[in-house]
Structure 1
Amino acid sequence: MARILLTLPPLIGHLNPLLAVAAELAAAGHELAWALHTRQLGASLPDGARVFSLDAGDQITTVVLPKVRGLESVRLFFEDYALPMAEQSLPLIEQAARRFKPDVMVVDHQMIAGALVARKLGIAWLTSITTSASILRMSPMLDDWVAGQYADLQQRYLGNDTAIVRVDRPDFSPWLNLVFSIEELLGNVHARIDAPYTFLGPASGQGRRDIAFPWSWLRDDCQRILVTLGTVSRDRDSRFFEVMMAAIADIPAVQAVIVGPSSLQASAPDNVLVCDFVPQMALLKKMHGVICHAGHNTVCETLMHDLPMIVAPIRDDQPVIARQVIDAGAGLFMRHGKVTIATAKTTIEALLKTPALHHHAQRLGSALRASAGAAGAAGHIAAIADAARA
């Protein structure tokens, strides 16, 4: 059996797929350890997990949402979060690897420190990639800037050790990169970073907490849509939700469940239900369409239920994923910040009445349900561990 060290940033969305993969590996008898920020993620690990803490007094563990968008937000993410976290995590992950002596490491694509430690110590490693946007090349100028930042980081950490090859993108494994998405969604419009990939679809298997929901509110004589902006963006502003409510109020044959702040409940029309939280997977089974921010998890969960969507991206990788959904024929675009009531109404009606959108959503849903998921990822990890020990 293999010894496997997993490391990732303090982001629950990056932990969830690895929890499902780790459960598969543990069931097969492999010995696991985690190098992560226990203050943020420790409570989410299974009982008895072996943990090497990355907590440090000056550790940057919170993503500050930038006011800028697009490629500039990517640059600020590297400068203000990913690179400082790498600098601070390098000695701690190296210490964990030297103590645990793993046969293989699994490194989240945003935890560059884990990738550099694996390179320095000669440990086989795989990259865990949680979103289909992360493997795409950006603008030539930004790609060059990222390569320069990584070159400086490698020089500071590896020093004059010429035995270790420097590469432009050390965050991508030369062994294998586990992409928790499908190629049917990714498409081939944009160039990818050159690396070996396997596309696994979402890694599910972790239970979610039970959330009460008034199921009797849903009517059989209405088409139903779910409106959600995810947990991070939900409370940024209420205007988007207010526009959606006004548009849906004018479509009496439609009901909508909005996952938004409770302050909106008093002004919701009769055919709109506002909830702080919902049992999303169970609720999707009752829906006919979704309006969302194009977060990767929400997109995959929507498509796994064969549902078309309206995408209103806000930040980070959301515009890229939104474009993928539209190019794949399963979604319509809506401007998050400037959508009008009239445009929202027209777009919602088109979502529910366009057969091609439903057809392509079903096509992508079939591909997602047929994907290898957590079990497939675990198989690849175990195989590379075996090869590394041979």
Structure 2
Amino acid sequence: MRFLLVVPPLAGHVAPLRGVAAELASRGHSVAWCGPAPELSTLVSGRVFPAGDSGPFSPALRPPELRGFAALKYLWESYLVPLADAMVPGVASAVASFEPDVVVVDQQAMAGALAAARCGLPWATSASTSTELADPLGALPKIASWVDELQAGLRARHGVLLGDLRFSPHLVLAFTTRALAGPSRQAAPVAYVGPTLPAASGEWSLGDDRPLVVVTLGTSNASAGARFLAESVDALAGMPAVQGLVVDPSGRLISERVGLARRIPQVAVFARASVVVCHGGHNTVCEALAAGVPLVVAPIRDDQSMLAQQVVTASAGVRVRFDRAKAADIRNAIESAGAFRPGAIRIRESFAVAGGAKEAATHLESLAGL
């Protein structure tokens, strides 16, 4: 069988499907990727079909101060919709050349849904984050209607009669569990397969035997997070009972009491941590909880606020204000996070039994008729 994976060139969206692609290949299937080139080729291995140029529509171009509806408006009008329009010809060419049996479509690569529907191919949604499953716009009918109109325009331009392009009527792969995300509020068939996490790699030397607290906002939030990271350094400097490690991609922070690094082997380091402070990115949250480590979440934008709420609801951590938290607030949150280790362990156990890449591959094989 042949599986075409259509994705945006965003590490957080590609990451869940890497393990699935490897599992499908190990079962003897042919797998290819499709997305904006050359960016996608730097994120995946194997055959890549180019589709569009994401440069003019990069999320990195979004002004960092945008929040709430302004950020959502930019995301849809300046990224998701134009990216879909730009990718459609390339995805259609990839379908014609590769002749896939199933198309797997990331929720932010709607061109894959358009091309698959136009060709009558079965397609699955890759929900790299769980927030859309909760129908976040359900209580905001005017905004939901605006999103529907944008999608209607996409469908009309590309001659497709289809429902919500973010949800396949055949299969939605949710890389989370109900224990963390709660039940889906969507009508689409959802398979909760849990996160597909990379194996721990790399080495990291701990300074001593004190509990390790890691602070990371991901590589894409270095400028927006400068203030929060500096406050975190101050917070950890006043906690002699723990050893702190702050990930500072800019390399501008200086401290004699707190460990600093531009990047870390995250899975390996989280396995040795007692608390993780993060921005609420889906992969970071899942990597910490997969190690049973409680979280302090400081969401910045997009889906991160909802993921932070999921963590709090699951009793797996606490939440702080990204734009207002001072050193004392962050210190108090770190000190309280230990009480949420049982919740974090419960989520870890739900991940362990969900199946991950193997379960996702099995669902895709079923969709292909195997």
Q: Smaller-chain TM-score range?
A: over 0.9
Inter-partner Cα distance in structure 1 for 2:296 and 2:189:
32
Partner SS state of residue 197, structure 2: coil
- Say if 1:131 and 1:180, in contact at 8 Å, map to a contact too: yes
Q: Distance in 1 between matches of 2:276 and 2:54?
A: 42
CA distance in structure 2 between the aligned counterparts of 1:45 and 1:344, rounded to whole angstroms: 36
Deviates more, 1:120-129 or 1:25-34: 25-34
Question: Which secondary structure state, in structure 1, belongs to the residue aligned with residue 131 of structure 2?
Answer: coil
Aligned residues of 2:155 and 2:161 also touching (Cα < 8 A): no
Offset from partner CA, 1:27-69 (integer Å, 9 cap, x none): 11112222222311213333xx333211449863454233221
Distance 1:383 1:286, change over 3 A: same
Match of 2:247 among 259, 263, 269: 259
Tell me the residue number matched to 1:165: 161
Aligned runs of 1:261-276 on 2, under 5 Å? 261-265=250-254, 268-270=255-257, 272-276=258-262
Partner SS for 1:262:
coil
The residue that corresponds to 1:241 in the other structure is 229
Which residue number in structure 2 is paired with residue 339 of structure 1? 325
1:378 aligns with 2:364: no
Aligned CA distance change for structure 1 residues 206 and 155 (closer, same or farther; 3 Å): farther
* TM-score (ref. length: structure 2): 0.93
Gaps of at least 5 residues in structure 1 are: 159-163
Q: Distance in 1 between matches of 2:326 and 2:10?
A: 33
Q: In the alignment, what sits opposite 1:363?
A: 346
Look up the match of 1:304. 290
Structure-2 change in CA distance of 1:223 and 1:145 (3 Å): same
Report if the CA contact (8 A) 2:200-2:267 is conserved: no
Query: What is the DSSP-based 3-state SS (H/G/I as helix, E as strand, rest coil) of the residue aligned with 1:185?
Result: helix
User: Which residue matches 2:141?
Assistant: 140
Task: Calculate the aligned-residue CA RMSD, in Å.
Answer: 1.9
Structure 2 residue 152 is the aligned partner of structure 1 residue 151 = yes
Moved more, 67-76 or 284-293: 67-76
For the structure 1 residues 237 and 306, does the alpha-carbon distance in structure 2 shift closer, same or farther, using more than 3 Å as the test?
closer
Q: TM-score of the superposition, structure 1-length normalised?
A: 0.88
Structure 1 residues 142 and 57: alpha-carbon distance in aligned structure 2, compared to 1, 3 A threshold:
closer
Q: In 1, distance between residues paired with 2:167 and 2:150?
A: 15
Q: Distance in 1 between matches of 2:253 and 2:130?
A: 33
3-state SS, counterpart of residue 134 of structure 1: helix
The 2-side partners of 1:57 and 1:128 are apart by 19
Per-residue CA deviations over 1:301-327 (Å, capped at 9, x if unaligned) read: 111111111110001110010011001
Say how many residue pairs are matched: 365
Deviation of 1:152 (Å): 1.2
Correspondence for 2:267: 281
**Paired AA for residue 276 in structure 2:** V
**Does 362-371 or 70-79 show the bigger shift?**
70-79
Gaps of 5+ in 2: none
Q: Which amino acid aligns with 1:204?
A: L
Partner of 2:69: 71
Deviation at 1:166, TM superposition (A): 3.4
Give the whole-Å Cα distance in 2 for the aligned partners of 1:350 and 1:50: 47
The residue number in structure 2 matching 1:161 is none
For residues 192-227 of structure 1, what are the alpha-carbon distances to aligned partners after superposition, in whole Å with 9 as ceiling and x for unaligned? 23211001111134676x4x64x141x21x222111
Q: Give 1:144 shift.
A: 1.1
Q: Report if the CA contact (8 A) 1:16-1:206 is conserved.
A: no
Q: Is the 2:54–2:83 Cα contact (8 Å) retained in structure 1?
A: no
1:308–1:351 Cα contact (<8 Å) kept: yes
Task: Write the distance in 2 (CA, Å) between the matches of 1:83 and 1:131.
Answer: 19
Match runs of 1:1-390 below 5 Å: 2-46=1-45, 49-56=46-53, 60-66=57-63, 67-137=65-135, 138=137, 139-158=140-159, 165-167=161-163, 169-188=164-183, 192-205=185-198, 210=202, 213=204, 215-217=205-207, 219-220=208-209, 222-260=210-248, 261-265=250-254, 268-270=255-257, 272-352=258-338, 354=339, 357-386=340-369
Task: Measure how far apart 1:380 and its partner are.
Answer: 0.9
Output the CA distance in 2 between the equivalents of 1:251 and 1:185: 30
For residue 156 of structure 1, what is the amino acid of its counterpart?
R
